[in-house]
């Protein structure tokens, strides 16, 4: 069964969970793995006792999909709806997870949420993928669904309701795609990959921004830590120098993953 996860320590997470409870008539049931547990039909909602970034225990819930409601913050305070897989490309793991390790991506479910958000009346807020970043580390297919910006967007009841409603709708919503893809290149906000996804071309799994493309030893893990697994690597070609691309293409060849340029 799918499960949605929230933390009272996160203003968006808690607010979106409140909005979700107004949409879905959850009933509280016995706690599970130390988390408050709400259920309606085959949908579970869990309230975590600590911040979701460090909730590596969520595999114990036995869900087949985990969606984490969250606030997104950035130096630029970009107002946006974002979705992204979890993991750390480098040895730095400041925000949970494990150094140089990736959670299991859920590319098709993530695409469905991206599409549901894009079809909502967002008053012009950007809807995009973010590159893979931060924890927790999970084996269960999982992803984050977020509202980004500042205090005004994080507390906007309408935006929180859009996030909650889109996540809920995505659980029964189909989203066309041709292939599951590993994304390489681009910036942290992977707007080109999001456009290709919304055009029905790809459901993206892990996305490695240009800031981490020298971590080529992580490409095999990125290709395997996904359910379903990527069939192709999509490379934002112009964001990478020719010197940087050569070892990436060589490594993709070694692991047997074809690539396309965009």
Report the chain's mean pLDDT, rounded to a whole number.
96
For residue 24, name the pLDDT band (cuts at 50, 70, 90).
very high
For residue 112, name the pLDDT band (cuts at 50, 70, 90).
very high
* Euclidean distance between CA atoms 221 and 182, whole angstroms: 11
Q: Are 66 and 95 in a shared domain?
A: yes
* Euclidean distance between CA atoms 92 and 260, whole angstroms: 29
Count of structural domains within the chain: 2
% of the chain with per-residue pLDDT over 70? 99
**pLDDT for 243-255, tens place per residue?**
999 999 999 999 9
DSSP 144: E
Averaged pLDDT, 101-117: 98
* Euclidean distance between CA atoms 244 and 207, whole angstroms: 16
3-state secondary structure (DSSP) of residue 195: helix
User: Residue 125 sits in a domain of what CATH number?
Assistant: 3.40.630.50
- Given this model, what pLDDT does residue 122 score? 86
Beta-carbon contacts of residue 253 (< 8 Å; ≥ 6 apart): none
Q: Are 127 and 19 in a shared domain?
A: yes
* Euclidean distance between CA atoms 223 and 250, whole angstroms: 15
Q: Are 12 and 133 in a shared domain?
A: yes
- Given this model, what pLDDT does residue 75 score? 61
Q: Are 84 and 117 in a shared domain?
A: yes
99 φ/ψ sector (left φ>0, alpha ψ -120 to 50, else beta): beta
Averaged pLDDT, 142-154: 93
- Given this model, what pLDDT does residue 7 score? 98
Averaged pLDDT, 155-179: 96
Give me the domain span that covers residue 197: 179-261
Q: Mark which of 170, 203, 225 sits at the end of a domain.
A: 170
Q: Mark which of 121, 141, 170 sits at the end of a domain.
A: 170
Averaged pLDDT, 139-158: 95
| Residue 142 and residue 106 in contact, taking contact as beta carbons nearer than 8 Å | yes
Q: DSSP letters of 233-262?
A: EEE-GGGS-HHHHHHHHHHHHHHT--EEE-
| Residue 233 and residue 259 in contact, taking contact as beta carbons nearer than 8 Å | yes
Q: Are 124 and 246 in a shared domain?
A: no
Q: Are 73 and 147 in a shared domain?
A: yes
| Residue 132 and residue 86 in contact, taking contact as beta carbons nearer than 8 Å | yes
If you count them, how many residues does the chain have? 262
């Amino acid at each position: 069964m799918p499960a949605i996860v929230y933390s009272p320590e996160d203003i968006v997470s808690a607010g979106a969970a409140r909005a979700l409870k107004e949409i879905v008539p959850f009933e509280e049931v016995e706690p599970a793995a130390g988390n408050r547990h709400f259920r309606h039909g085959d949908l579970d909602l869990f309230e975590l006792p600590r911040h979701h970034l460090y909730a590596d225990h969520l595999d114990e819930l036995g869900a087949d999909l985990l969606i984490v409601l969250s606030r997104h913050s950035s130096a630029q305070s970009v107002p946006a709806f974002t979705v992204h897989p979890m993991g750390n490309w480098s040895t730095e793991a400041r925000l949970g997870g494990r150094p140089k390790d990736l959670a299991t991506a859920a590319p098709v479910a993530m695409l469905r949420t991206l599409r549901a958000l894009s079809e909502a009346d967002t008053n012009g807020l950007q809807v995009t993928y973010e590159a893979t970043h931060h924890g927790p580390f999970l084996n269960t297919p999982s992803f984050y669904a977020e509202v980004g910006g500042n205090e005004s967007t994080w507390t906007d009841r309408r935006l929180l309701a859009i996030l909650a409603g889109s996540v809920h709708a995505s659980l029964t919503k189909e989203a066309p795609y041709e292939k599951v893809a590993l994304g390489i290149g681009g910036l942290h906000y992977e707007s080109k990959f999001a456009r290709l996804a919304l055009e029905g071309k790809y459901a993206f799994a892990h996305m490695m921004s240009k800031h981490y493309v020298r971590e080529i030893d992580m490409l095999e893990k990125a290709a395997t830590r996904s359910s379903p697994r990527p069939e192709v690597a999509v490379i934002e070609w112009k964001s990478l120098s020719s010197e940087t691309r050569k070892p990436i293409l060589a490594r993709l060849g070694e692991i047997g993953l074809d690539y396309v340029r965009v």
